[in-house]
Structure 1
Amino acid sequence: MITLTAENFEEQVLRSGKPVLVDFWAEWCPSCRMVAPVLEEIAEEYGDRVTVASINFDENPEIAAKYGILGLPTLNLYRDGEVVQQIRGAKPKRLLLADLEPHI
């Protein structure tokens, strides 16, 4: 999983040649900790089709504000620099994959 910052967001996400699933998270968010291992599994199993990345909400407020992130965890799937899917809250792996499958 890639760690994102305001400095590398454009290059790693918006200019990526394949879809990028971005996890907006924070240290204080228990649901974020629940979804993190699931995202690691998705990164390992689907890494050839989608890049999985995370960005700390508290350390990168300008990115979170730009994409209207109000609650955590929020997962944005970017394709060709645009958000094509937004998933709010923690979900089991099978439900996350069901949401992502049409886009990856």
Structure 2
Amino acid sequence: MKHYSSILIHTITAFAFILVSCSNIDSRPGADTSEAADSETASHSENTLMAAPDFEVTTLEGESISLQKSLESGKPVVVYFTASWCPVCARNWPVLSEVYPEFEDRLTLVAVSIDPTDTEDVMRELAENEDFLFPSTAGRPEIMIDFGVESQATTVGVNLDGNIAFKKSKQALTADEFRELFSGLLN
């Protein structure tokens, strides 16, 4: 019973985050969201970076991905928090599909839906329709909460020390911007 109560609390909290984040995103093409994104970008020295919470997910392809395993294999991690209904995310998916193959041997990327109603079937259909070339999962709002993420369309990078190196939110990024973020984790 305790396990179900915990799931219920995480789900209710996730819905509250979703409602707040939906009301805060201006998804019009060309809308300036850089101020909000910059406020969540980690710009601290190495000594003050926040440790990333460990997580483990199973992708739509059945692959197990965990922060700890990735770091142990010498790969930094990028978690892209998404939702099937998110217009900003929809602008990022093709860009991630373009850039990810250039980095897939050197870092771990996984798109995690923040919406518990994004079931495996919903996300599988989305991944097929949008030609995802990157691993993704069904809705896991508890991971969003654990990372302190407040909205979809948030990209979080975890360096090899297990610390959050950057957090970009509410932003459609270009291929070059993703390349710069990914390269920064590798250097």
TM-score interval, normalised by the smaller of the two chains: 0.7 to 0.9
In the alignment, which residue of structure 2 is the partner of 1:67?
Answer: 147
1:12 aligned onto 2:65: yes
In the alignment, which residue of structure 2 is the partner of 1:3?
Answer: none
Tell me the amino acid that sits aligned with residue 61 of structure 1.
P
2: CA distance, partners of 1:40 / 1:57: 19
- Give the strand-richer structure, 1 or 2: 1
Q: Determine if contact 1:13/1:78 at 8 Å carries over to the other structure.
A: no
2: CA distance, partners of 1:72 / 1:62: 13
- Give the helix-richer structure, 1 or 2: 2
Cα separation, partners in 2 of 1:27 and 1:79, compared to 1, 3 Å: same
Match of 1:92 among 174, 177, 180: 174
Q: Which runs of 4+ in 1 moved over 3 A?
A: none
Q: After superposition, what is the alpha-carbon deviation per residue over 1:10-62, rounded to whole angstroms, capped at 9, x for unaligned? A: x6231112012111000110110110111122221111211221101112121
Q: Which runs of 5+ in 1 are unaligned?
A: 1-5
Shift of residue 99, structure 1, vs aligned partner: 2.7
Between 13-22 and 77-86, report the one with greater CA deviation. 77-86
Question: Looking at both structures, which has the greater relative contact order when contacts are Cα pairs under 8 Å and sequence separation is at least 6?
Answer: 1
Percent identity between the two aligned chains = 30
Shift of residue 79, structure 1, vs aligned partner: 2.7
Shift of residue 7, structure 1, vs aligned partner: 5.0
Relative to the length of structure 1, the TM-score reads 0.80
Shift of residue 75, structure 1, vs aligned partner: 0.7
Cα separation, partners in 2 of 1:100 and 1:45, compared to 1, 3 Å: closer
2: CA distance, partners of 1:26 / 1:47: 22
1: CA distance, partners of 2:66 / 2:56: 11
Tell me the amino acid that sits aligned with residue 95 of structure 2.
V
Q: Determine if contact 2:157/2:165 at 8 Å carries over to the other structure.
A: yes
Cα separation, partners in 2 of 1:7 and 1:13, compared to 1, 3 Å: closer
**SS of 1:84's equivalent?**
strand
In the alignment, which residue of structure 2 is the partner of 1:50?
Answer: 107
1:25 aligned onto 2:107: no
Q: Determine if contact 1:76/1:83 at 8 Å carries over to the other structure.
A: yes
Q: Which runs of 5+ in 2 are unaligned?
A: 1-54, 59-63, 116-138
